[in-house]
Structure 1
Amino acid sequence: MDSLDEVIHQPVRLKIMAALKALPARESIEFVRLRAIVGATEGNLGAHLATLEKCGYVQMEKDFVGKKPRTSIAITKEGRRAFEGYVDHLRSILDGAA
């Protein structure tokens, strides 16, 4: 990777990707929990998730618990690779500055 992934580099999306990457493979997190971790508003988080989903970095599933809607978010294999590449690039910058 020659440059930082601009999609991930945005601070809220970076927090989202870090939170999702911390989950075990194929695990998801509920929107409400992710919102609390990231510290974003519902609308702001939804917009950032839409951007990440469009890039193929996250997958969202919607269902109902009783009559209440629930959205679950998981990082995709592509998203995991992109985040790992992003972190590797940051490490190479830091190693080069030392």
Structure 2
Amino acid sequence: MIDGLDPVIHVPKRLGAMAVLANAPTVTFRFLKDHLGISDSDLSRQMSTLESAGYVSATKLGHGRGGGTTYRITPEGRTAYDTHCAALRALIDASR
């Protein structure tokens, strides 16, 4: 019944980030931070986990105060996210 659930994506903050990234070509660190309502350090930790899994790629723009980071979902991340969402739907539907 829980086949397809991805423990990397399943964490609520990472699932939220993946949901945003699945619906935008790129997203800034600031946008994700504000949208998810989490601290810089927490978002950095969550995105590092997604990046290490190969689900997200990060691009650093500039340095210092004017710099920033943008994120993009990878093809592997898209597949993992879609599979995870399908597994969640199946789990919910099975309980009805």
TM-score, normalising length from structure 1? 0.89
User: Structure 2: where are the runs of 5+ without partners?
Assistant: none
Structure 2 residue aligned with 1:6: 7
Structure 2 residue aligned with 1:60: 58
State the distance in 2 between where 1:74 and 1:40 align: 19
Deviations 1:42-65 (A, max 9, x none): 000000000000000000000128
State the distance in 1 between where 2:80 and 2:86 align: 10
Q: Offset of 1:92 from its aligned partner?
A: 0.8
User: Structure 1: where are the runs of 5+ without partners?
Assistant: none
* Aligned ranges 1:1-98 → 2 under 5 Å: 2-23=3-24, 27-64=25-62, 68-98=66-96
Deviations 1:41-90 (A, max 9, x none): 0000000000000000000000128x611100111111111010001001
What is the CA RMSD across the aligned residues, in angstroms? 1.8
Q: Say if 2:4 and 2:83, in contact at 8 Å, map to a contact too.
A: no
Regions of 4+ moved over 4 Å: none
Q: Offset of 1:4 from its aligned partner?
A: 1.5
Q: Offset of 1:3 from its aligned partner?
A: 4.3
TM-score, normalising length from structure 2? 0.91
